[in-house]
Amino acid sequence: MGLPKIEMPLFETKLFSTGKIVKFRPFTVKEEKILLIAQEANDVDQTLLAIRQIISNCVYDLDVEQLPMFDMEYLMLQLRAKSVNNVITFNITDPDTQKPVEIELDLDTINLTLDDRHSKEITIKDDMHLMMRYPRINEVSLFKGYEGDEVNTLFNIMISCIDCVVVGDTISRMEDFTPQEIQDFVESFPGSVVEELKLFFETVPVLRYEAKYINANGDEKTLVLEGMETFFI
């Protein structure tokens, strides 16, 4: 007689980027192990690999490689909430007193933060626009070293995230052009376009959580967590 099969409950949630309803199951010991290894490694590449693998294992009928990062982060929070519970308790060191403070994070209160300045449409000139898409998990590594090599990094990111070019009623998909054609096109942008592209990436929607606490001096403080910080504590 074989070992019994453990049936897992199914849950549903909606993706921010598309409004699509997806089904998922909770973590098993297998996914918990993947998560723990990523937490101990404290490495961006290892973290991204863990996210990709866990979501692929637990979420049904979904192409993980096509998801923007904020959708992946949201799915990870949903998985954590349904697999364990929706509350995470952890300690931080208050920067003013250098004393530990216990923080309670309710995953159900984490929201997607939207910046009013954000737009996926970038104007090149009156009748020509770029339509952007959000960075996917395989492109997040491009953000490494942004501060040290801003020009080349931003150039690589914007090339990878241009979805199409709209000129009047004509739409040209970037996938239909060679890397050299795209590079030559991007290098011809006026300087104002670069500033708009920077703003697009700086204001990409992000999961955000603010926790109020009182430190040992009696001062009210605010802890802000964004993105992957919220589930790799």
Q: What is the pLDDT of residues 7-19, one digit of tens each?
A: 889 999 998 888 8
Note the pLDDT of residue 217. Answer: 92
Whether residues 36 and 84 fall in one domain: yes
Whether residues 62 and 153 fall in one domain: no
Q: What is the pLDDT of residues 19-44, one digit of tens each?
A: 899 999 998 989 989 888 887 877 77
In a domain, 6, yes or no: no
Whether residues 108 and 212 fall in one domain: yes
In a domain, 131, yes or no: yes
Note the pLDDT of residue 149. Answer: 60
In a domain, 159, yes or no: yes
Whether residues 148 and 40 fall in one domain: no
Identity of the amino acid at 63: D
Note the pLDDT of residue 46. Answer: 82
Note the pLDDT of residue 207. Answer: 85
Note the pLDDT of residue 181. Answer: 93
Residue ranges of the chain with pLDDT lower than 50?
A: 145
Structural domain boundaries, residue 174: 121-202
Whether residues 16 and 104 fall in one domain: yes
Whether residues 130 and 165 fall in one domain: yes
Note the pLDDT of residue 85. Answer: 83
Beta strand 87-93 with 100-106: parallel, antiparallel or unpaired? antiparallel
What CA–CA distance (Å, rounded) separates 80 from 74?
A: 10
Q: Which two tokens stand for residue 197?
A: 């592209």
What CA–CA distance (Å, rounded) separates 231 from 171?
A: 39
What CA–CA distance (Å, rounded) separates 182 from 7?
A: 49
Q: Strands, E, within the chain: which ranges?
A: 11-14, 21-24, 87-93, 100-106, 111-113, 121-125, 128-132, 162-167, 170-173, 206-214, 220-226
CB atoms within 10 A of CB 90: 10
Whether residues 197 and 221 fall in one domain: no
Structurally, the chain folds into a number of domains equal to 2
